[in-house]
A and B are shown apart, each in its own frame.
Chain A
């Protein structure tokens, strides 16, 4: 991958901060600039090694940047894109990290004037932890994870290749899918598990303190900050409803199979094998 001259992160929280750390630690950008809302965040981001310098002025922050990453919560992506677009130089790669894509990608595509020479490519690193903000950021956050890249028919190929190259350089595996396919996929592999974890916490009630590691593992994600998740669930509501329906069907099938010993074993065995296979794949990606 060719090294970026100046990478600007709009938002230096968990994802933006981790990205800055990784870009700097791996020498993928000569300079990393952070744009934060409050002045106080700049020194925090600098001392944690996420950025070289910071500003609260988005226009100044993206000046001369050849990579601009919108790493703010989903509802702030579009306002942030509006703010920075007029100040981007031709050839710059603009990307975001929002976890719901169809609406956001369509809206930013519509904002881009072809003559500006700016390439926008939607992206979604499937990385994170239960923490929040720069304090939870870590340079290895993307290693061995999947990085979803969501081009539309309007997206320039060169931009897609550039973002995929960046993902690989971060130690992640890029997978391309259209924005609506992305939203259906994350409804199943991300939003559904979150809601199921929350439902498990609810169903368990007062006996939860007796739980062992399997319960803790299955509900880990329920401990994440609510504001962001609630926003995501609302944005991807339709796809989540379909994912929930698929989940209900599976639950109903398991419930019916409990009375039928062989049937239950077969369903559980198929799940066990699929999970082990997935575990081996993730291990190959480097997650261990």
Chain B
């Protein structure tokens, strides 16, 4: 439910409305606009129904609107129809500029990570990625350097000034990741790991939540709702491909999700065309398409020698290809009135 305080309402009227809501055991989230203030109300739906009529009659209240979707905090109405901005270090997601996150799938060695970090920065990436804990289909695959990788990523941040995002797969890793990284990634395989989502909701770090390959858009939004309901408003959604009958590509990159999500939620939406296609030669075309579709950012895997990569080699770009992609994105972004 949202309560809209109309133009000309007074501070005491606003306070009175908040007091009534909180006395009912409900939580409020306030969004201030120039004329109107939108108060989001979360909690037991029966209590909300009971309060509804009372709130409608209160001075200063313009309207009380029920939110029909199962997700509340992530819904666009809750934010008064505006995009929210998520800060990762000094990089703003959702502020209008297309933000490119780039780096290797896994941190393999210090040299590989630092070399890639320098290269992606020079090409215009604004955030560095790199896997420390790798969830792999087979337990015998390379599973990541763990804390050593996090230390290497910290060093790469020192050298380049780029904030760092990396994945955590459980609460213990989350604690370690938040010590070193600027943003926590919750991977596609963990999108519905509700314990982890709740834990991520309790940290101060921004969270990048990737859509599960078998998850609907609504399930993605509900997963984000878990994080926000625990008190962390800084969530960036990432489309990375869904499972379909098509086998030529690793997944089917669901670009429909970009405009759909931009309509349904205020959260920034980015796209990972590397996992979405599984083939490096498809990454640039789909990155261009993502920007044209209105994505707030991209997540791109870059490796100095993809053929020798310990994970996901076939879908990683070389630094040269990444730089060429950035040039192409610049033109596409300009064509739709934006900049990378």
Contact = CB atoms under 8 A, between A and B. Distances in A.
Contacts of B96: 273-274, 277-278
B333 A270 contact: yes
Interface in A266-288: 266-267, 269-270, 273-274, 277-278, 280-281, 283-286, 288
A284 B32 contact: yes
Contact of A175 (B87, B338, B339): B87
A175 B95 CA distance: 14
Nearest to B337: A273
Interface in B281-340: 333-335, 337-339
A246 to B, nearest CB: 11
Interface string B157-194: 00001010000000000000000000000000000000
A180 interface: yes
B260 interface: no
A270 B80 CA distance: 25
A130 interface: no
Contacts of A184: 90, 161
Contacts of A278: 95-96
Interface residues of A, number: 25
B90 A182 contact: yes
B337 A176 contact: no
Nearest to A274: B96
Interface in A252-278: 266-267, 269-270, 273-274, 277-278
Contacts of A284: 32-34, 80, 82
B334 A181 contact: no
B203 to A, nearest CB: 11
A203 to B, nearest CB: 25
B339 A274 contact: yes
A267 B333 CA distance: 10
B264 to A, nearest CB: 20
B9 interface: no
B89 interface: yes
B250 interface: no
B97 interface: yes
A266 B85 CA distance: 25
Contacts of B204: 157, 176
A285 B84 CA distance: 12
A80 interface: no
A182 B95 CA distance: 17
Given A274-B339, A284-B33, A178 B89 contact: yes
A288 B34 CA distance: 7
A177 interface: yes
A176 B34 CA distance: 24
Contacts of B97: 274
Contacts, number: 53
What size tier do the contact residues of chain B reach? 20 to 34
B89 A181 contact: yes
Contacts of B89: 177-178, 181
B97 to A, nearest CB: 7
B69 to A, nearest CB: 23
Contacts of A185: 90
A273 B96 CA distance: 9
Nearest to A276: B96
Nearest to B161: A184
Contacts of A266: 334-335, 337
A267 B338 CA distance: 9
A181 B334 CA distance: 27
A210 B34 CA distance: 35
Interface in B63-93: 80, 82, 85, 87, 89-90
Among B85, B89, B333, the one with the most A-chain Cβ atoms within 10 Å of its Cβ is B89
Contacts of A177: 87, 89-90
Among A269, A270, A284, the one with the most B-chain Cβ atoms within 10 Å of its Cβ is A270
B25 to A, nearest CB: 22
Contacts of A181: 89-90, 161, 163
A266 B96 CA distance: 15
Contacts of B87: 175-177
B230 to A, nearest CB: 16
B58 to A, nearest CB: 23
A247 to B, nearest CB: 14
B334 A267 contact: yes
A278 B96 CA distance: 8
Given A177-B87, A277-B96, A286 B32 contact: yes
A284 B34 CA distance: 6
Interface of A: 157, 175-178, 180-182, 184-185, 266-267, 269-270, 273-274, 277-278, 280-281, 283-286, 288
24 contacts: A176-B87, A176-B204, A177-B90, A178-B89, A180-B161, A181-B89, A182-B90, A184-B161, A266-B334, A266-B337, A270-B333, A270-B334, A273-B338, A274-B96, A274-B97, A274-B339, A278-B95, A278-B96, A280-B82, A281-B82, A281-B85, A281-B95, A284-B32, A284-B80
Give the 7 A-B residue pairs with the shortest CB-CB distance, closest first. A181-B90, A266-B334, A185-B90, A277-B96, A273-B337, A181-B89, A177-B90
